[in-house]
Amino acid sequence: MESMEELQLVRQERAAIADRSYHGYYPSLHLTYNARENFLLQAAYAKTYGRPKFSDIIPNTTINEADLTENQLEDPNVLPGTITVSNTALRPWSSDNYDLSAEYYTDNGGVFSAGAFLKEIKDFFGQDVRIATAADIEQLGLDPQYIGWRVTTAFNSGDARVSGFEFNVRHSPSRWVLGRVISRCSSTRPSSSWKVSARLTSSGLPPKAPTWG
């Protein structure tokens, strides 16, 4: 564990404050219709969301200097180090999920099912990775010596649509009698197809410098 003296050398308070809040309503609905005794139709809807990791939103800048040789320090193509910046403005992603399915049950325990799904995702997370320019370093409030370092931050990168269909076959053949031995076997053949489309937004560094560096 680091002592307070070591912590003061490694961490520096930067006196910035960020305040963010969010709320929402996340309902779900599941319907099942028995078309026949062994044939079911199902429909479902759910609105879900995912929070960012605390490490991505707590104000923080982490600087890691690469351990380079003298020759590497003179090479302009060698990365001198990395800067990881949290984003206090990062919002949770949300998704509207729609599912339709049909299930048919055979007399000997088999199942044939098919389904389709659609997910409308908003504000999904992405990472912005760039080589720091003078403008980036000034925005972060860092020393110009960090120009040319690699900067990474999380951001809400846009919206996406995920759609597809799934098939599943689980068949249990009739019992085979071999002398006094009765065996029963089953086979499963799942299959699925997905289609993903996304609309990306422009990325960027957080608008305000974090509190620690």
Residue 210 has pLDDT above 70, yes or no: no
Residue 175 has pLDDT above 70, yes or no: no
Residue 10 has pLDDT above 90, yes or no: no
Confidence at residue 105, expressed as pLDDT on a 0 to 100 scale: 92
The residues with which 33 forms a beta bridge, in sequence order, are: 41
- Residue 174 forms part of a structural domain: no
CA distance 88 to 22: 12
Confidence at residue 20, expressed as pLDDT on a 0 to 100 scale: 75
- Residue 106 forms part of a structural domain: no
Q: How far, in Å, are 57, 91, 118, 202 from residue 21 at the CA level?
A: 12, 9, 29, 23
Q: Which residue has the tokens 């019992």?
A: 175
pLDDT tens-place string over residues 65-119: 888 777 777 777 888 899 999 998 899 999 999 999 999 998 888 899 999 999 9
- Residue 109 forms part of a structural domain: no
Domain that holds residue 154: 4-97+122-159+196-200
CA distance 171 to 177: 18
Confidence at residue 43, expressed as pLDDT on a 0 to 100 scale: 97
Domain count, the chain: 1
pTM of the entire predicted model: 0.69
DSSP string, 134-194: HHHHHHHT--GGGTTSEEEEEEEEEEEEEEEEEEEEEE-PPPEEETTEEE---EE--EEEE
pLDDT tens-place string over residues 45-73: 999 999 998 888 888 888 898 887 777 77
Confidence at residue 197, expressed as pLDDT on a 0 to 100 scale: 67
